[in-house]
Chain A
Amino acid sequence: MTGHPLRLPADPAKVAKNYLATVIPALVAAPAPTFGLIVPPEWTPAAAPRVVVFDDSGPVLWPVTTSPTLRVTVWSDGRDRSRRIAGMCLGVLLAHRIPGIASITDPTLLVEDTDPHNQGVMCSFTVRALARTVAV
């Protein structure tokens, strides 16, 4: 495809991660979770809960918008804590207007499982994040 203006795909996963990091700690019980785009290999359930936002790719309308599936997964030491944090992230993403993301839609419900790598209890959901491409 040639002839399109030079635009770059936005990074809504990072935008959502940074936004959740500013809002969620005040809304859930201590210890405050940490936020990132990866789960550190040294993370254990004894550490603070971990919230990770992944970009799972998705439809693209080039050069206008991309709408990747964002997967938010919470690791913690207990099922209820993971569920509470993940549920709060889901609610905040769908309720708040987040600068840099045009719209957040199509939530899936929480799934839970134990991580066989670090024995943390995971709780995860996905949403669709529509974002304009970015001018260089």
Chain B
Amino acid sequence: MARVKVTLNRPEVGLLLRTAWNVEVEALGRRLAKAAGRPGHPRDVNVRTYTTDRHVVEVSVPAYRQARYGALSRAAAEVGLKVRGRP
């Protein structure tokens, strides 16, 4: 059986990671932010987008809301994301 050789560290793949799924990534970030927020407290959730080697959406809540209520981890379960530490 012929093996298909896939090379991932190419400039084209880097370009894809930075640009191809921006809309989907940001939509998921907004769903997570909506699930993590409280009605009537729009300042409780912060959403920031930036690009490193890939497009990133950062959703943050005050630390006490995660420690006491699990705002982010419960929101992650709600939208189907797995919680893990940053490598």
Q: Which residues of A contact B (CB under 8 A)?
A: 39, 54, 56-59, 68-69, 71, 73, 106-109, 111-117, 122-124, 126, 128
Contacts and interface: CB of A to CB of B under 8 A. Distances in A.
Contacts of A69: 70, 73, 76-77, 83
A88 to B, nearest CB: 17
Contacts of B73: 56, 69, 71, 126
Contact of B63 (A68, A108, A111): A111
A56 B84 contact: no
B74 A106 contact: no
B66 interface: yes
Nearest to B85: A108
Contact of B67 (A57, A73, A107): A73
B83 A58 contact: yes
A111 B83 contact: no
Contacts of A71: 66-67, 70, 73
8 contacts: A54-B70, A56-B83, A68-B77, A108-B84, A111-B66, A113-B64, A122-B67, A128-B84
A111 B77 CA distance: 19
A108 B74 CA distance: 14
The 3 closest A-B pairs by CB, nearest first: A124-B67, A113-B63, A106-B84
Contact of A106 (B62, B77, B85): B85
Contact of A57 (B63, B74, B84): B74
Contacts of B80: 59
Contacts of A56: 70, 73-74, 77, 83
